[in-house]
Structure 1
Amino acid sequence: MPRRRLIIVSLTAALAVLIAGGAYAVARPRPAAPVSVPSPAPAASPSASPSPPPGADITGGPLNLLIVGVDTRIDEPGWQPHSDALMILHITRDLRAAYLTSLPRDLVVDVPAFPPAGFRGGTHKITEAMAYGSAVPGGRPDPAQGVRLLATTVGNYTGIKRFDATAVISMEGYDDLIDALGGVRIHVDVQTPSIHRKPDGTRRAGDGDPQQVYRVGTMTMTGWQAIDYARQRYLTGGDYTRQRHHRQLLKAMLTAATDEGLLRDVTRMESVLAAVAGTLVFDGGAHTAVDLAFALSHLRPADLTLVGLPGDAVYESGAYVGEALNPPSADYFKCLRAGTLPAFTHDHPDLVDRA
């Protein structure tokens, strides 16, 4: 299969790809409803055929999308892109339901050799796969190159032969998108103090500064609040709690866009595109993320199931080396490949995120 081109698009596309994949087939036309036949009329000049909506030729599944959140501090010396958030979106064969789960950033995996970056392979934390793959001898790191190694690494671990689309998203870049949506409503499931922000949103300079605290309950969050809430990991459950909050945020964004009717309105989507400043790298083949959003816009937040996979810390000689997922995780990916995730979530209700 030829390599797909990498397209730079606005963060609005990040929202679109949450409900979209990249495996395509020719759409099956719907049968027309019966109509009465009028008496013949004088011949007239033929009118132009209406243009099909975006993504009209996209159908079929199952689809698997890799979503990567990157902390893009590109101005720092020695910066390398790491996958700070790593999620897999699975859309069922009938395109009527979707499942979103996460992999720990410190998951210990085998990272294969990657000649374009001069990387020889080895056992590492999965967050480092993108950094190793992004290396450009004598040049700046290339995240678009690094995601190729990351996708291969994730595919080897999960048994997913290929991803139908990938999206690499700047976590900081979400701020403007969320504000353009008018904020998002999130149920804070555990009291979450911020190590990064003061209550007014300015950055904390040290432990002596007051800190923003997100208290249990449902609240409407602005862009900076939502991103700040989702970044915190010094909580009970550590990074696994942070993963859950990442998933909550993406579902809240989908809910906001659906409530606003954004995903079916090209003009408004373009307006939001102009309003946001962040970018992402999106690989969706011949279709844009807007195409995909329209093709799957019938999916609703209630059709998106959030699944948290359990894991434990791994130590060697008393030193922390990373994380390993527990046995139910292997069953999750086995069911994903077999198309039986509804049965898995029915049998493992404790792994389904509850609002």
Structure 2
Amino acid sequence: MSFQSLPNELLYMISGQLRRPDLNALAQTCQQFYAFLNSTLYFDNIRLNHSSALFWAASTGSLGTIQRMLAHGADLQIRAESAAATQLGLNYLKSQNMTRKRGSARTRHTRSKKESLSFSACGETLLHRAAEWNQEAVAKYLLDNGCDMLSIDMYGYYPIQLAAHRGHESLVRLFLEKGFHPNTLSWARTDPSAIHSAVCGGYSGIVKLLLDHGADANLKGSSSNNEYSPLDLAFSEHWATKTQNILDLQNALGPEHMRGGQENCALLLIDHTAPHEIFEDDRYLLLAVKKNYVKVVQALLDLGIDPNTCLLGRRALRHAKDFKLKELVDLLEPLITPASQLKPKRKKRKTEP
């Protein structure tokens, strides 16, 4: 009696004794075994492996696998599980809940349910995986079938932020078209919104897309740990060592690519920032000099920033000379007024009551 002529009941009993790789190999030996055993593989993956095939399919763009998993009872709302990820999520969300209890009265575009969000809501979703790996067709299918684009992963990121981090402009556009508000704040520490995430990666095209859809160039986070605007991030240096996500970006893109992109981001953000907000903070000129953002320095000077302003006790020209930035020295030197010609600031007299 040949193996192929065995009744399905016996095949099912035999399959229960095989390891998953062996069962998969057996299913591929002939069409008959494939038709019978493939369903067993899907059911076992859902029951024993927490639907890991769904996350593989979302990463690789295998829409057919996702559809077959759903036909076998998989849940699109499933979240990735691991002991380390779960504990990290619990610790982080607990700290964020404590921060939010201390509170801030500012109005933000945050999800109304977030106040009562439980720790079990933390974890990577299929939409996060598709957004990170630039699988637009999968992301569209997931959104059309009820996946929540306002879900957060264990680091506090929305799916759109992962797409912005990696420079997937078409995916960011998809989320915006599906109704994602660009000023929605997440619980991420360093980059609490999509425009922050795009600036971190130096993706000026995504920054422009978000600004065109109403993103606030001066948007800041919801806790004392992330009170940086997107413009602050374009200039800042110390934030780059804070998260593994940023370090991965630096390794993948190279620091020079990120620096050039962030300079273009800074130019876009300056164009969308009210002049009085820039004039109130003279440090932007110093930061632009320190980062050697020649085009940004020129843009700030065109806005009317005074190059004679002393920053940390010295003028911008002095900093440019210290860092040996010849192009900036040539730009600033003709604009500097000699110290002897500067009018000393008058001290205000105290009025007696």
Q: Same fold (TM over 0.5)?
A: no
| Greater share of residues in helix | 2
- TM-score for both structures, normalised by structure 1: 0.19
| Greater share of residues in strand | 1
> Greater relative contact order: 1 or 2 (C-alpha under 8 angstroms, separation 6 or more)?
1
Indicate the structure (1 or 2) with the bigger Cα radius of gyration. Answer: 2
